[in-house]
A and B are shown apart, each in its own frame.
Chain A
Amino acid sequence: MHLEVFAEGNSFFHSLDPRVKILVFIPFAILCAISKGIIIPLLYFMLSLIFILIAKPNLKVFLNRLAGANFFILFIWIFIPLSYKSNPYISLGFLKLSYKGLEYALSITLKCNAIIFATIALLSTSTIFSLAHAMLHLKFPSKLVTIFFLFYRYITVMHEEYIKIKRAVLARGFKPGTNLHTYRTYAYIVGALLIKSFERSEEIYKAMLARGFKGFFPLFEHFKLKKLDVAFAIFANFIVISIYLLGIYK
């Protein structure tokens, strides 16, 4: 499975310390999510656009992801300007669009895309394993991170098992449709996968015990914080917080 598409590359963000990127992303995401109106979300959107230009993600995949994420936003554009109860209205023939409703939809669109841009530029440019590693340094519960490591590691394994079973099913002439036979077949495929993963996990646990597992993974490699990492963290957080303060004192 080819999952970490954006982690491939050699931009500035790819070489930054993942801990620093998380510590820039969290304030950005929270402050952007709670900001109101148009101007502040627009500033966050522009900042995230700069991040994306620096990170240079694969354009085709990037646009594909944006389309998926904006699907729900599309619903808001369809419903909110028509149902938002406020004056004044913009009349378009027989349609009455609420001005406030349009403003609200635009605000949501900007915030949503700003946070997604930041996710891709700051987080998805690291591999999942290095993010999990950084989560341990940032004091996330170690049990949760241990599950995260194993969970991510075995997705590819279980996906290969799924492909194998699916190939066997298709070779026997299975054609999916809206009927109970199809649902039963898919259920048995998932059931078989669950049993395989249950048995696999017992083997994994024995292997881990044999290597002295005590409920957590000790850190083996360590990150090295460079001057550039610290400078970026301070500079980026300064801008992120300034934008938010601008919204309060405006």
Chain B
Amino acid sequence: MHISEGVLSPPVLITGAALTGVGLVLGLKTLKAEKIPEVAVLSSTFFVASLIHIPIGPSSAHLVLNGLVGLLLGWSAFPAIFLGLLLQALIFQFGGLTTLGVNTFAMAFPPVVLSYILRRFLKKDKYSLTFTVSFLVGFLSIIFSAILIGIALYFTEKSFTPVIITLLGAHFPIAIVEGFITSFIMLYLLKVKPEVVL
């Protein structure tokens, strides 16, 4: 899900950086000082979760869980995902530093919007509604993130179309697994410690 250095054109890089800048300002403005440790340590856990590889058929994929980040952190998903990607670029050289803006926006914006709309339907006593809503947030976050990455590639170079189609196709099974895992985590959290969610 992360575009490497050197691929995207300057206008796309600048647009991504500006959009992420707005998201970061909103995320940091709405974050109260007493919530800083919570956002930070939950981000640490999401980072650890992104190192977990889940089997999908003959292959495997690492967890993304950006949908869940949106559901638990709201606008703070922007700083959380930004810092996660920054760290990945610094220590693993995954993604990149010049593409940080585009990658952060692609991964943070869909879950923030989706959870803003769908969050209200999460109820401790409504099992199947909570399951469906969390599945949708987990599934659609991955799909829309892949689409945003596709848009960034398309505006850089129209010949990228076959690469974009491959990318979208590869993300479909991942999105389904992410949907299930997001739902199971949400049900677990609501059962064991609902104050994490609500």
Interface of A toward B, CB cutoff 8 Å = 3-5, 25, 29-30, 32-34, 41, 65-66, 68-70, 72-73, 75-76, 79-80, 83-85, 101, 104, 108-116, 119-120, 123-124, 128, 131, 141, 143-144, 146-155, 157-159, 162, 176-178, 180, 182-184, 186-198, 200-202, 204-205, 208, 213-215
Say yes or no: A124 contacts B162, CB within 8 Å. Answer: no
Contact pattern, B 51-81, Cβ under 8 Å of A = 1, otherwise 0: 1101111000001010000001000000110
Given A104-B157, A120-B93, A186-B52, A111:B44 Cβ within 8 A? no
Interface of B toward A, CB cutoff 8 Å = 3-8, 10, 13, 24, 28, 31, 33-34, 36-45, 47-49, 51-52, 54-57, 63, 65, 72, 79-80, 82-84, 86-87, 89-94, 96-98, 157, 159-163, 166, 177, 180-185, 188-189, 192-193, 195-196
Closest 4 CB pairs of A and B: A111-B6, A187-B184, A150-B40, A112-B6
Say yes or no: B177 contacts A183, CB within 8 Å. Answer: yes
CA distance A76 to B25 in the complex (A): 34
Measured CB to CB, the closest approach of chain A to B187, in angstroms, equals: 8
Say yes or no: A197 contacts B41, CB within 8 Å. Answer: yes
CA distance A112 to B196 in the complex (A): 40
A4, A33, A147, A176: which contacts B40 (Cβ < 8 A)? A147
Residues of A within 8 A of B72 (CB): 194
CA distance A114 to B37 in the complex (A): 36
Measured CB to CB, the closest approach of chain B to A139, in angstroms, equals: 14
Say yes or no: B79 contacts A144, CB within 8 Å. Answer: yes
Given A128-B87, A147-B43, A158-B41, A190:B24 Cβ within 8 A? no
CA distance A159 to B10 in the complex (A): 37
Residues of A within 8 A of B4 (CB): 69-70, 72-73, 112, 116
Given A73-B4, A79-B162, A83-B161, A187:B188 Cβ within 8 A? yes
- Give 5 A-B contacts (CB < 8 Å), ordered by A residue: A116-B96, A155-B87, A187-B183, A190-B49, A201-B42
CA distance A157 to B97 in the complex (A): 26
Say yes or no: A194 contacts B42, CB within 8 Å. Answer: yes
Measured CB to CB, the closest approach of chain B to A243, in angstroms, equals: 15
CA distance A208 to B189 in the complex (A): 26
Say yes or no: B90 contacts A195, CB within 8 Å. Answer: no
Nearest residue in B to A76 (C-beta to C-beta)? B163
Measured CB to CB, the closest approach of chain B to A188, in angstroms, equals: 5
Residues of B within 8 A of A131 (CB): 90
Residues of B within 8 A of A190 (CB): 45, 49, 52, 63, 65, 181, 185
